[in-house]
Chains A and B, each alone.
Chain A
Amino acid sequence: GNSVTQMEGPVTLSEEAFLTINCTYTATGYPSLFWYVQYPGEGLQLLLKATKADDKGSNKGFEATYRKETTSFHLEKGSVQVSDSAVYFCALKVDAGNMLTFGGGTRLMVKP
């Protein structure tokens, strides 16, 4: 079956530090990959996506590259801000179905 594994949190960083949140996946077929973010008190929001191998998704300074050879989609940001504090979810979708398969979420806490 399909599954997503991401590093457990919380991840605590100082402002301007480099961020990596690891995500690996198992999927039948060729999935599309996503990162969603949930800020406190809000719903999940699409942060970025990649639909095929070697694609790089980027948004708001965050990046993730679809690595088929390592079945990974690690999230990175060069310099985090306090406002980036949130829970980050890695997810995949295969074929034309509507179902997203999520990882467990990683809480990021950025201290000033």
Chain B
Amino acid sequence: EPEVTQTPSHQVTQMGQEVILRCVPISNHLYFYWYRQILGQKVEFLVSFYNNEISEKSEIFDDQFSVERPDGSNFTLKIRSTKLEDSAMYFCASKSQGAVEKLFFGSGTQLSVL
């Protein structure tokens, strides 16, 4: 079965540094998402992206966050100036035009901000 690929699997950074989390969605998918899960807490929606623009975002997704689809395959999440509370597992997901609800998730990037 096709899968969503995320890199790196672990990222350690210093507070205040910029990080870019990378995702390669399934090739014919058109909708892209980022979710995150802080240790011991719920999986939270961050942002959805369709047709080269953000279609929906949560309160968490403030000005420090941005997403980009720089080419035909990658979908990135950038955090401009990381904070301790950004430490979490970040999940990328994608779905095709026809799949009303079936999201395919990547295995996640564990971000640790020191």
User: A residues near B, CB below 8 A?
Assistant: 4, 32, 34, 36, 38, 41-46, 49, 89, 91, 93, 97-105
Contact = CB atoms under 8 A, between A and B. Distances in A.
Contacts of A102: 35, 42-44
Contacts of B107: 41-43
A46 B102 contact: yes
Given A43-B4, A43-B108, A44-B91, A99 B48 contact: yes
Interface of B: 3-4, 6, 31, 33, 35, 37, 40-45, 48, 55-56, 58, 91, 93, 101-108
Q: Main SS of the interface on chain B?
A: strand
B103 A46 contact: yes
A104 B39 CA distance: 10
Nearest to A3: B42
B43 A105 contact: yes
A91 B56 CA distance: 18
Contacts of A43: 3-4, 6, 91, 93, 104-108
Contacts of B101: 32, 34, 46, 49, 93
Contacts of A45: 104-105
B4 to A, nearest CB: 6
22 contacts: A34-B101, A42-B107, A43-B3, A43-B4, A43-B91, A43-B93, A43-B105, A43-B107, A43-B108, A44-B43, A97-B56, A98-B31, A99-B45, A100-B43, A101-B45, A102-B35, A102-B42, A102-B43, A104-B40, A104-B42, A105-B37, A105-B43
